[in-house]
Structure 1
Amino acid sequence: MRLLSTLALSSLLALAPLVAVAQQSYVNIEQRLSAEQMQATGLDALSSAQLALLNKLLSQEQAVVAQQVEQSVRDEQKGKPPERASKEPISSTLKGSFSGWSNGTVFELANGQRWRVTEGSLSLGKGKTQQNPKVTIAPGLFSGWYLQVEGQNSSAKVQRLD
């Protein structure tokens, strides 16, 4: 758990400069570029109305980016993967013994992640268990994540807890 807290803090510190930049108030394009740059880009030929519209559009875009960065930071603080996070499957092993799952079952992986079953059930049968089985958690076709234990045909829809 301490490792997760350290990783979350590291992620937050890494994102802090992005948040600071995204939250800065918009500076008009003609104040950011030199006269030579304005001329080289042709922006000096814009009418005042066109320049005002360009600044408005750039300001709105900056506001959207700031919102997205802030949401990413909030998600990181909650331990959720960012929306634009890689949708690559996660391979690990379950900690301890495994005999199946039902709604609400929480699994802890060797990599420290915790996942809760939100849909599905499986029972290996009385007295049958596996120790530290390999698992893959992969994104669904349309939404959600699905856990599959090596050697089992069924999968469970899961939600990350940390």
Structure 2
Amino acid sequence: MQIIYRKIIVASITGTIHSILLGLIFSAPFGESDESHFLLDFIAATPTYMMYVLPVVYTYGIVCSIISDKIGSFLAKKSDDSRIEILVSASLHIVFGLFLLIFSLIGAVIFFLVDSLLIKMKQKYNLLGAISSLLLPISLLCVLISRST
């Protein structure tokens, strides 16, 4: 269960960062915008990105990440080379992230990096931590919605 809890935490962090990056890069996805409206466009676009990004990261991202890690671990044990695990896992994260090209690839790379960072921290992850991590995107959404009104 440790893996599932960690992956939920990673998904919360990844979904939030990915939505913010998309809001910064594509702040006016359906029209032209000038610099004077950038902040307003960012505040308006980011919740929309969150609406689409978060469910995908929580479902597809977690499942693909677990599959990538398991395949990497299996191949590392077969080859007796621990470096294979991270290379295979990173490669599979990228492959799974290619389904929407640059949009999902950014998320896949962020997911892999955040997961690698949490693994290096060697913490014990539990259900309370996983549920608490859900507050990160919810908090961001509340802040953005309060700023847009």
Do these two structures clear the TM 0.5 threshold for a shared fold by scoring above it?
no
TM-score by length of 2: 0.27
Q: Which has the higher contact order (CA 8 A, sep 6+)?
A: 2
**Larger Rg: 1 or 2?**
1
- Structure with the largest fraction of helix: 2
